[in-house]
Structure 1
């Protein structure tokens, strides 16, 4: 402060013709506070100096500054503090004359919250001391931290006179789950706390400090190095003040011969004594401070000293603005000019509100409506060197003048040392974030950071950390096993590649092969009695229709498409009607043929080859008409069935019109039932002249298969529905093929002697219908 006053007084431009004077008071103790306030009010000090003070610089303590301002503010005496950081002092209703060049703790608290949030430290402990600075600072931190999801596990007060409080703090440090501890207290309280807690061997904690102590390297005694290694905190920014270093290092005891303080630290620095002593050499007072190395002689950069520098200059610029005079009035206020003898504190107060200047070293100074200056901090990290000394390294910056999102920055190239002997940033959370696939649920009985995580219910996912809710996948999608993303549902249909599809295809090909083989066998033996006796033309037409029945099964295998869905049901319906029509024709022929063999009967002229062809064509055309109507009105179509299975899609053919489907099946059933009845009536006819028994048995199999098909079809899931339908087609086709044709093939191949007209005629018993 003395250096700055002298620098201003040497400046012929800032305050021409005006010199600044000062009075210094020891700020320790309430008696000195009362004395300073009384002397300021009376305008006379104990040494008899007259003249009212125009402003007051100080104090460093927020509590002391509060008391001073409460006494002086009624007199409108401006007060500028260089180190009182309590945010409470920004309340202009209570402290109307208070200003400060140090940032308010409101900004430091915001910076600390940014720091915690940046490293994801959501679960912290706080240790503080009773007093305005710590009480208000920790309360604001808790309040601002809650807004950003930062929870406080414990908040404990420390007093160097209470063993109970110390034991509670030590217990919390040992048993707590939080790895980060905010030590928010003044320098002397921090020194006392560390000296007591170092005996308890507290390790594994990441200490975060307030600006009051975080740059005080002398706190790192031998026993505290393990505690403070890696400590982080915001500090007032480093600054260079030209000339101040030389001013401090040129100090001599002779400059202040009455000062006992200067003599004491002189004796300490140079290990000498101004009074005769047997233990040390005599001090001459001419020793050079440049020859020793300590905190005092480290004058390359300054932190709180810069705020003192700005405080003095802010008053000088306020006086400069007050004493300006142009054309008989003040250019700032428009009021009458004021000469230096008329200067009063209230006028200085009025002008200090509007100061806005830049110091010689480039520092910007102005006050907002709360009397606060803008905030700028260095983020510092305690790093212990191999020689045992501590280096406080600047690793980042917090500057409120930057845009939102850019205020907090870390230096990328700077290495950070972490507390607790950790090689990486420690984790300090009450509960690890809920991973994707789960949802976050707040537990009302615990802090907001101690939430619960629940797995997403079936069919839902969450694809982000700490998701508040799980959401349902779209109908075509289903969650993966982790339930963190929706994947397309696998589709299911009967394909040729799978075992069941391949087996069914094999049976289809076997049926086609047998049909063709029997056709060839019948063709090569078409002139033999057994082939001719069983209506050769209808037999070949039946074999052809059975071949089509086998082949139509292939339309049910493979991925459903619009054409395959229409083809499979219509082809099945028409080919089976053609097949049953042929069987029905053979049955009628058997009955008519036996009837025609009776004396006086000419019934065969009513059901000759032409009538047989027309009847088969008529029966088949009826089914064709039914299919055409079905395809015209509401045809089958491919459909994705997502109701039967939640986790997969069944590709199937929807019937379109259920009436059309059951009409096709019903018509086939009517023909099969009619055929079965006629064959049953003809079952006792001579074996050699008819195949009624074989047709009866084949129709019995046919009807049994399709009667059991209906409930199986309705209840079978997915591709098994198609498999059941194919099985019904194949079973009924093989039943007809085997029952009607295999016995004849057996005679043709293995009993050729029975394939003669004589043999067949010889077995006719004398019976009547």
Structure 2
């Protein structure tokens, strides 16, 4: 039992006991477990049970009670006291201590208490979960810590992890809680191992063998991150790992250990000199703690020679400093003698810390919470009711269960300036600090705060981490560790699940052609939008270039120059014919038809320019219809000239009636119906499904082609079919008239020109259908120019030859001469 050695004189009533040991769950963060054994039970192995570091929990409790008893503002006229019971890490012993709480001191009689000066009012529980899981009423929500662990894993991309828990109901509950949550968020569990604490000498070898198996599983796993969840003794178990290796000479592979707030850096007495490399770089979730004014001075003042009422300090001193106090009953002592002048600040951090740990800080706040609740209960209407009834005011009139009401919603500021508050459920309203453990070779221990979980902040700021200040295990050479079953699938690849293995294990395969993946570890590839196309590495979409057959590009320049040159040639031919319009060769075969044909050919060449340049509403609307109408005029002229040649020859025969048909009446009767028929087709086309500007996004992967949509493809081919029909008729008529005996007979030239014309447009159809984008337009332009040039060359080149080079043939005698 440890009591405050100097209670203030102005407080005269003692208010029950605060008991540490075995009455809180692992999620009861303001808990502690005292494991200093003065009279160890015979089943325990003493050396394994001594954890000197937990002595700070006793000091935090004593310091809090001392402050409260010296503060006249809290529980005036009352003195706070406490008893300490040891849990021994043993459920049986803890239940025994629990029964003693309800008994008279030094007499085991449950529910029988005769000492009214020592009435139990509250309990501050220990770390053992199975003995206190269901009675904890003051703890931050466990789900908050689970969420924090998940956020940490996802932040660093650790999706292939191991879990090490205690081999009990508490560990199983953790596994069953986090496994589905982690899986839903893409985190896979590589292994789950369960450790048992050392309890008796007889099972130590069995436990070490099991520890060796766990060690091999952890070290050989590809998971570089292990979440350790359990009681504080689990750190003691971790420190065994380097000594459980089957290959101790090999360099130990480092791991990132993530430990929960229930675990602190502790060690058994025999582990004080052990190497600490295994726990260097640990990332720990801890309840927020702060330095308390005067606590370090209070700790430094503790000394076995001048501290009274502390039943633990001599045992702690001997275990921590590895010495013994002189015993007059013994003539000879083994080991170094304790002088009492040893300095606590010289102890390694694994054995004792001068700074307040999270558990000790929680004990301190728990004592204050109980004190404030008792103070509120003293000031409540309940007390006024007692005074009205003239009953004596003392705590023997109160029951411990009444304290719960006053604990809920309590809030206060402790001496460190931190606000401590409990919600209406009695849960501590607090977050967690994320601490990085840094241990030097000389066992100097530093806690570096690298992040936090703040449930009271905005959701996007609830989790924060400063990864640049984290010190990783030496194995990783200060490079952020990876923890993956499979290396990341880079952009341009996608994951392919491996049959029979967790979803975190997969193969990386390239995206199919035409699809991309922009981020790592994509489950599927996807196509770019219609305005974009995949780059070479298939990891990004590039905007498509907008293209059309323009006047600036080489193909457009070539076609426009060709059209202009042919137009110029046509104009020159027309000028030559106008200049020699009275010559026999011009008069022959209908001079007017010749002029109309030349003008229509000129318009055909100029019409080709409508197909070059960015398609617009007007150009799309008229370019195909203009082409169809102009070509129908040209072919109709050829047909009329051919028929005129035939009729003219027939009219020269004596007594022929064909003379009356030769003339303008004939040409008009041929050309006008042919033109009107094509005009009707074009009119129906424009009225029903007219062409319009459109974008072609499918023809080319890297281009968006601006083009004219023909509206009705059927009407477009009707226009071409009609032209083909006229051309075939003209060819047939000219073919039969090719041998007529006339020096200026055009039939033979028309036959060849129509043969060229039909050949061009027959080859146009497959070429047009096999082309895409602007090349379809180029094919049509070339067909227009080639067929028009064929007519111009085949029909007018012979006449130009005679006019320019053989003028002697351009006379009337040649016109009327017959072949013999």
8 Å contact from structure 1 (residues 508, 550) kept in 2: yes
Shift in alpha-carbon separation, 1:324–1:632, aligned structure 2, 3 A: closer
Aligned partner of 1:78 in structure 2 is none
Give the aligned partner of residue 24 of structure 1. 84
Aligned to 1:69: none
| 1:124 aligned residue | 161
- Are 1:40 and 2:101 matched, yes or no? yes
Q: CA deviation at 1:510?
A: 4.2
Shift of 1:239: 2.6
> Are the counterparts in 2 of residues 329 and 335 from structure 1 also a CA contact under 8 Å?
no
In the other structure, the counterpart of 2:691 is: 637
Shift of 1:125: 0.8
Tell me: CA distance 1:313–1:576, structure 2 relative to 1, closer, same or farther (3 Å): closer
In the alignment, is the contact (CA less than 8 A) between 1:589 and 1:607 conserved in 2? yes
Q: What residue in structure 2 maps to residue 154 of structure 1?
A: 191
CA displacement, residues 403-448 of structure 1 (integer Å, 9 cap, x when unaligned): 4343333358845445533323212233466666666677784334
Q: 2:368 aligns with which of 310, 313, 322?
A: 313
Provide the C-alpha distance between the structure 1 equivalents of 2:467 and 2:385, rounded to a whole number of angstroms.
50
CA 1:108–1:624: 2 relative to 1, 3 Å: closer
Change (3 A) 1:739 1:335: farther
**1:668 deviation in Å?**
4.2
- For residues 245 and 535 of structure 1, what CA distance do their matches in structure 2 show? 124
Give the structure-1-normalised TM-score. Answer: 0.80
User: 2: distance between equivalents of 1:388 and 1:528?
Assistant: 121
Counterpart-to-counterpart distance in 1, 2:148 and 2:397 = 44
Does structure 2 retain, via aligned residues, the 8 Å contact 1:566–1:631?
Answer: no
Q: Gaps spanning 5+ residues in structure 1: where?
A: 67-88
**Cα distance in structure 1, aligned partners of 2:648 and 2:383:** 145
Moved more, 410-419 or 300-309: 410-419
Aligned partner of residue 574 in structure 1, secondary structure: helix
Decide whether aligned partners of structure 1 residues 242 and 483 sit closer, same or farther in structure 2, where only a CA change above 3 A counts. Answer: same
| Alignment match of 2:222 (pick from 174, 177, 199) | 177
- TM superposition shift of 1:456: 6.1
Task: Tell me the distance in 1 between the aligned counterparts of 2:775 and 2:370.
Answer: 94
Unaligned ranges ≥5, structure 2: 1-60, 197-203
- Give the aligned partner of residue 789 of structure 2: 734
Q: Given that residues 590 and 690 in structure 1 are in contact (C-alpha distance below 8 angstroms), is that contact kept between their aligned partners in structure 2?
A: yes
CA deviations over 1:98-136 (Å, ceiling 9, x no partner): 444x64654433332332233232221122332455444
Query: Are the aligned partners of 2:119 and 2:396 in contact in 1 as well (CA < 8 Å)?
Result: no
1:322 and 1:338 in contact (8 A); partners too: no
Task: State the distance in 2 between where 1:259 and 1:306 align.
Answer: 20
Separation in 1, partners of 2:783, 2:254: 75
The alpha carbon displacement at 1:730 in A equals 3.1
1:375–1:449 distance in 2 versus 1, CA, 3 Å: farther
Aligned counterpart in structure 1 of residue 302 of structure 2, from 237, 240, 251: 251
Q: Considering only aligned residues, what root-mean-square deviation do their CA atoms show, in Å?
A: 4.5
1:547-601 deviation per Cα after TM superposition (whole angstroms, max 9, x unaligned): 2222222223333333223432333233333333433443344344434444456
Deviation per residue, 1:378-422 (Å, 9 max, x gap): 322122448663322222233444443433333588454455333
* Structure 1 residue 180 displacement after superposition: 0.7
1:427 alignment partner in structure 2: 482
Aligned equivalents of 1:679, 1:292: Cα separation in 2: 121
What's the CA shift for 1:45? 1.0
- Cα distance in 2, alignment partners of residues 314 and 454 from structure 1: 59
SS of residue in 2 equivalent to 1:8: helix
SS in 2 for 1:253: coil
Task: Spell out the pairing of 1:519-530 with structure 2 (5 A cutoff).
Answer: 519-522=574-577, 529-530=584-585
Number of aligned residue pairs: 734
Q: Aligned-pair distance for 1:154?
A: 0.5
1:209 corresponds in structure 2 to 259
The match for 1:70 is none
Change in 2 beyond 3 A, CA 1:727/1:577: same
What is the aligned partner in structure 2 of residue 73 from structure 1?
A: none
Distance 1:221 1:148, change over 3 A: farther
Maintained 8 Å contact 2:494/2:511: yes
SS at 1:251 equivalent: coil
Task: Using the TM superposition, give the Cα deviation of residue 178 of structure 1 relative to its aligned residue in structure 2, in angstroms.
Answer: 1.2
Which of 273, 277, 280 aligns to 1:226? It is 277
Aligned residue number for residue 622 of structure 1: 676
Deviation at residue 182 of structure 1 after TM alignment: 1.9
Aligned with residue 149 of structure 2, among 86, 95, 112: 112
Change (3 A) 1:4 1:566: closer
State whether residues 54 and 348 of structure 1, in contact with CA within 8 Å, keep that contact through their aligned partners in structure 2. Answer: no
Distance 1:342 1:312 in 2: 22
Indicate how the Cα distance of structure 1 residues 301 and 561 shifts in structure 2: closer, same or farther if over 3 A, else same. same
**How far apart are residue 156 of structure 1 and its match?**
0.9
Quote the offset at 1:155 in angstroms: 0.8
Match of 2:616 in 1: 561
| CA shift in 2, pair 1:388/1:61, >3 Å | closer
For residues 306-385 of structure 1, the aligned pairs below 5 Å read 306-324=361-379, 329-330=384-385, 338-348=393-403, 351-352=406-407, 355-368=410-423, 371-385=426-440
The more displaced of 200-209 and 716-725 is 716-725
Alpha-carbon distance between aligned partners in 1 of 2:194 and 2:158, rounded to the nearest angstrom: 21
Partner of residue 398 from structure 1, selected from 448, 453, 470: 453
Q: How does 1:713-724 map to 2 (within 5 A)?
A: 713=768, 717-724=772-779
1:725 pairs with 762, 780, 799, which one? Answer: 780
**Contact 2:690–2:711 (CA under 8 A) maintained in structure 1:** yes
Match of 1:54 in 2: 120
Q: After TM superposition, give the deviation of residue 324 of structure 1 in Å.
A: 3.9
Alignment partner, residue 76 of structure 1: none
Deviations 1:178-226 (A, max 9, x none): 1111233444442244234345442232122233444449999776443
Distance 1:277 1:494, change over 3 A: same
Q: Distance in 2 between matches of 1:195 and 1:564?
A: 86
2:563 maps to 1:508: yes
Contact 1:63 1:131 in 2 (8 A): no
Q: Where does residue 9 of structure 1 map in the other structure?
A: 69
Kindly state the Cα deviation for residue 669 of structure 1 after the two structures are TM-superposed: 4.6
Pairwise mapping of residues 608-687 of structure 1 onto structure 2 (< 5 A)?
Answer: 608=663, 610-611=664-665, 614-615=668-669, 618=672, 622=676, 625-626=679-680, 629-630=683-684, 633-634=687-688, 636-640=690-694, 642=696, 645=699, 647=701, 651-656=706-711, 661=716, 664-665=719-720, 668-669=723-724, 671-687=726-742
- Tell me how far apart the structure 1 counterparts of residues 154 and 86 of structure 2 sit (CA, whole Å): 41
**Further displaced range: 486-495 or 737-746:** 486-495
Task: Name the CA distance, whole Å, in 1 between partners of 2:616 and 2:447.
Answer: 75
Q: Deviations over 1:202-257 (max 9, x none)?
A: 22321222334444499997764433232111224333334443333333435567
State the alpha-carbon separation in 2 of the partners of residues 715 and 37 from structure 1. Answer: 92
Normalized against structure 2, the TM-score is what?
Answer: 0.75
